[in-house]
Amino acid sequence: MAAASTERRRTPPPVLVKWGGSLITDKTRPETPRPEVLRRLAAELAEVLPELAGGVVLGHGSGSFGHVAAHHHRLRGRLDPTTQRLAVSAVQAAAARLHRRVVEALVEAGVPAFSLPASAWMIAGEGRPELAAPEVLEHALDFGLVPVTGGDVVLDRSWGAAICSTEVELEAIAAVCGAARVLWLGETPGILDGDGKTVPQLGEDDLPGLRATLGAPRGTDVTGGIELRVGSALALARLGVPSILANGLEPGLLARVLRGETVTGTEVVARPATAAVTGTGGTDHG
């Protein structure tokens, strides 16, 4: 993760939000968005945005667009710049098609969205992105815009190019600019235990048993799914940034959680959690 820079941390810091790829697309069908979900989420964000002094940075998963294209072109992890150049372009183009749909839904709802695809302002080192131009993000927030990023193919100093998930991109943003909290919205009310009940809190001590609890993501996923998401949430918790995983399919939930209201979900904390994760339940946050 990019090294934190106290000189750039904002007061108040922005809220970081991720719309999971499985939430805004049908990951079982190539390039199939969920326009009704996009419209509702955009409307909820527009409703509450004036109440958020630090603003919002929105990231979205690549869903059945980028993930399916990456799987088709066999792109995962380190990419070969000599044989995979055209594949890199094809996957980036697929991710961009979903990104435009997200931005358009936001603008139609009255959100001043500002497109910041990761490939335009981040650079990676062995798959870990850094903010190559943090001033761009800061100026967008200062101007009252909502920066929108998402899963993408970015240039990599060591590998030539790399697929970067929204999770690691949000880690990089929080490390440089700070974050009030992070909201991870998917299709389930957080992490579920073996009885299908939401685990209210997840801490470091729960991580060893986590793999037995989480189900595989629906559809195609080339970046690690929910396991990566929880790892990023724990990394952010170590920086003092709280996270909650919740159900973006529940109408009104995004607006409520942005207002600080209590919702059903899993809080991710740095200290050992009081409720252990057990059983073989699952989740899908895309």
The enclosing domain of 48 has a CATH number of 3.40.1160.10
Instruction: State the residue for tokens 């998401």.
Output: 229
Q: Is residue 1 part of a domain?
A: no
Q: Is the pLDDT of residue 79 over 60?
A: yes
Q: Is residue 64 part of a domain?
A: yes
| Weakest mean pLDDT among 79-83, 169-173, 227-231 | 79-83
- The arithmetic mean of pLDDT across residues 97-113, rounded, is 97
Q: Is residue 151 part of a domain?
A: yes
Q: Is the pLDDT of residue 222 over 70?
A: no
The answer to whether 242 touches 269, Cβ cutoff 8 Å, is yes
Residue % of the chain over a pLDDT of 70: 79
Which residues have C-beta within 8 Å of that of residue 243, sequence separation ≥ 6?
Answer: 181, 182, 183, 184, 233, 236, 237, 267, 268
| pLDDT attached to residue 213 | 59
Which helix (H) or strand (E) element contains residue 125? strand 122-125
**Angstrom distance (rounded) from CA 46 to CA 40:** 10
| pLDDT attached to residue 227 | 74
Q: In angstroms, what CA-CA distances link 187 with 50, 113, 283?
A: 26, 24, 7
Mean pLDDT of the chain: 84
Q: In angstroms, what CA-CA distances link 235 with 168, 204, 226, 229?
A: 10, 10, 14, 10
Residue among 133, 176, 169, 137 nearest 150 (CA): 169
Q: Is the pLDDT of residue 272 over 70?
A: no
Task: Name the percent of the chain in helix, strand, coil, to the closest 5.
Answer: 40, 20, 40
Q: Is the pLDDT of residue 26 over 60?
A: yes
Q: Is the pLDDT of residue 88 over 50?
A: yes
Q: Is residue 3 part of a domain?
A: no
Residue 229 — pLDDT band, cuts 50, 70, 90? confident
Most confident among 171-185, 208-222, 229-243 (mean pLDDT): 171-185
Q: Is residue 27 part of a domain?
A: yes
Q: What is the number of domains present in the chain?
A: 1
Q: Is the pLDDT of residue 279 over 50?
A: no
Q: Is residue 7 part of a domain?
A: no
183-205 pLDDT per residue, tens: 999 999 998 877 788 889 988 77
Q: Is residue 194 part of a domain?
A: yes
Identify the residue with better confidence: 232 or 18: 18
For residue 178, give the 3-state DSSP assignment. Answer: coil
Q: Is residue 221 part of a domain?
A: yes
| pLDDT attached to residue 266 | 93
The answer to whether 18 touches 186, Cβ cutoff 8 Å, is no
- The arithmetic mean of pLDDT across residues 108-116, rounded, is 98
Q: Is the pLDDT of residue 1 over 50?
A: no
Q: Which domain holds residue 113?
A: 15-268
**Angstrom distance (rounded) from CA 165 to CA 229:** 9
Which helix (H) or strand (E) element contains residue 148? strand 146-150
Residue 30 — pLDDT band, cuts 50, 70, 90? confident
